[in-house]
Amino acid sequence: MAEPLKNTFFVSSRAAQQLIDITGQVQATVDRSGIKNGVCFLFLPHTTAALTLNENWDPAVPADILHTLEHQTAPSSAAHRHQEGNSPAHVRSSLLGASQFLLIEDGRLLLGSWQGVFLAEFDGPRERRVIVKVMEG
């Protein structure tokens, strides 16, 4: 059995709000693990960003997702007590979730034709760390 691999890669966001396609970096980590069948666990050690699956073909889709999240979480901001002013980013992190798993078959991530995994930045720009563990099974 190949050694299960925990690994880390970094992603730099360039805007306050941004969905960044990280599918290629996740696949590269799976490739390095040598594991052909199993589960790939992704975890963000951050609380104002998230990981999410969605369409990575038309860039209008991630743009519309960010736009909708902004409309959803902004109206209540006036009453926020957290002094850093980034409570909407914390809310969006919990709504989308800071972790994600993907299935692996024959060494490839099992994804739909237009589906990718995104790091969702809600309080950028900054550098984010993605922790990856690949488990055989």
Q: Which residues sit at the interface with a second copy, rule CB under 8 A?
A: 4, 6, 37, 39, 41, 43-47, 52-55, 58, 60-61, 63-65, 67-73, 75-77, 79-84, 87-88, 90-91, 93-103, 105, 110-115, 131, 133, 135-137
| Distance separating alpha carbons of residues 52 and 133, to the nearest angstrom | 17
CA 64 to chain centre: 17
Whichever of 25 and 115 has its CB closer to a second copy, that residue is 115
Whichever of 24 and 63 has its CB closer to a second copy, that residue is 63
| Distance separating alpha carbons of residues 82 and 89, to the nearest angstrom | 11
- To which H or E segment does residue 87 belong? helix 87-96
Q: How far is the CB of 14 from a second copy (least distance, A)?
A: 19
Q: How far is the CB of 46 from a second copy (least distance, A)?
A: 6
Cα atoms in the Cβ-side hemisphere of radius 13 Å centred on 88: 21
Whichever of 25 and 80 has its CB closer to a second copy, that residue is 80
Whichever of 25 and 73 has its CB closer to a second copy, that residue is 73
Q: How far is the CB of 32 from a second copy (least distance, A)?
A: 17
Q: How far is the CB of 39 from a second copy (least distance, A)?
A: 6
- Is residue 105 helix, strand or coil? strand
- Is residue 100 helix, strand or coil? strand
| Distance separating alpha carbons of residues 3 and 36, to the nearest angstrom | 12
